[in-house]
Amino acid sequence: VDKLISIFHDTLRIRKIEEEISLRYSKQEMRCPTHLSIGQEATPSMVCQNLTHNDLMVGTHRSHAHYLAKGGDLNKFIAELHGKSSGCTSGRGGSMNLSDLNVGFVASTAIVANTVPIGVGLAFAQQLKGESNLTCVCLGDAAFEEGVTYESLNFAALKGLPVLFICENNFYSVNTPLALRQPAKRKIADLATAIGIDSYTLDGNNTVESYPKVADIIATLREKGQPQLIELETYRYKVHCGPEDEPRSSRPEDEVNYWLSRDPVTMLQNHLLSNNLISQEDIDSQLQTIKDEIDIAFSKAEAAPFPLREDAFKFKYATPDMHWLSLELSKQAEEVLS
């Protein structure tokens, strides 16, 4: 019960944070492309209940919820969206490049499936070092249309790496439905099973039903140290990228109605209320606390300084013999900025 209440709090908090981003986005203070995951909040909230800050996580272009559920700092997150130096990636990454080693959130990247080999490599490194933590790799359904995913799953199976693959299947890649991209009768989880990874398909919106299974799978992974994949079926309400709602006309009406009737926050809230596990007063008080912390995070982010111009080329990847290029780019940047 405590876990369900905690998951509810996380889903509600992530929902409210992303709604606020969506509301404020048109002010043009957050200048990075932003992929919201409103409708999908239960999956990272369920998974992260069973992860510690020692466990590593890598994410995707749509990783706000992953970062927040993993324990990422709200102030640093909102500052990152504003490109400020107090951001979790020092204002250099934005929405799609979140990173915070304090909570084991190593990286997220914009390239579909890019973090799958990175996550498997991290797990391999941890195994070589004799560490007992696990690595969680978040990926979308479209990552199963990229060759590198199969190579990485194969390597994880071969080496017996403690990797938890979390595939959030929201049935879309940008605007293209899964049915137009992958054979209808073949489950994503079955692909990973065929490679030699224990895999499961769960309802990503029904926390009451799926959470105990998620907890068991992660416990087994910790015990046996073998990779596991969970495909969590869910749905996003917003457009692929940006703050607007997905136009009703762009998707089949019965499909939208089905998923709206299974909203993960509402379903869990109804369960907790109807079983007297939480009261409306508790929810109202949680909402007030969340609102206050969001307001503070935005105020801090708006007031924070941008990274310094003279630091523009710090932390870049370049060998010393490439230094001439940085100097040249730096000169050009100066000219543009002046």
Instruction: Reduce the DSSP state of residue 228 to 3 states and report it.
Output: strand
Residue in 73, 72, 83 with CA at minimum distance from that of residue 31: 83
**Residue with smaller CB distance to Mg ion, 170 or 206:** 170
Pair of tokens at residue 270? 């109804």
CA gap 315, 118 in Å, rounded: 19
Residue with tokens 């895999």: 199
Binding positions for Mg ion, 164-193, rule CB under 5 A:
170, 172
Q: Does 112 bind ligand TPP (CB under 6 A)?
A: yes
**Residue with smaller CB distance to ligand TPP, 58 or 143:** 143
- Cα angle for residues 221, 222, 227 (degrees, 5° grid): 30
Residue 128 binding target from ligand TPP, Mg ion, none, CB below 5 to 8 Å by type: none
Find the Cα–Cα–Cα–Cα dihedral 240, 241, 245, 247, rounded to 10°. Answer: -50
CA gap 229, 221 in Å, rounded: 10
CA gap 230, 59 in Å, rounded: 15
Q: Does 39 bind Mg ion (CB under 5 A)?
A: no
Q: Does 172 bind ligand TPP (CB under 6 A)?
A: yes
Residue in 95, 73, 76 with CA at minimum distance from that of residue 22: 95
Binding positions for ligand TPP, 223-262, rule CB under 6 A:
240
CA gap 71, 55 in Å, rounded: 11
**Residue with smaller CB distance to ligand TPP, 5 or 110:** 110
CB of 226 to ligand TPP, least distance (A): 25
Of the candidate residues 9, 13, 16, 62, the single one contacting ligand TPP (CB under 6 A): 62
Of the candidate residues 111, 180, 219, 318, the single one contacting ligand TPP (CB under 6 A): 111
**Residue with smaller CB distance to Mg ion, 66 or 76:** 66
CB of 175 to ligand TPP, least distance (A): 9
CB of 234 to ligand TPP, least distance (A): 9
CA gap 98, 80 in Å, rounded: 8
Return the bridge partners of 180, or none: none
Contact assessment for residue 273 and residue 280, using Cβ atoms and an 8 Å cutoff? yes
Residue 10 binding target from Mg ion, ligand TPP, none, CB below 5 to 8 Å by type: none
Of the candidate residues 142, 217, 232, 278, the single one contacting ligand TPP (CB under 6 A): 142
Interface size with Mg ion, residues (CB under 5 A): 4
Residue 61 binding target from ligand TPP, Mg ion, none, CB below 5 to 8 Å by type: ligand TPP
Residue in 303, 308, 292 with CA at minimum distance from that of residue 74: 292
**Footprint of ligand TPP on this chain (CB under 6 A)?**
61-62, 110-112, 140-143, 170, 172-174, 240
**Binding positions for Mg ion, rule: CB under 5 A:** 140-141, 170, 172
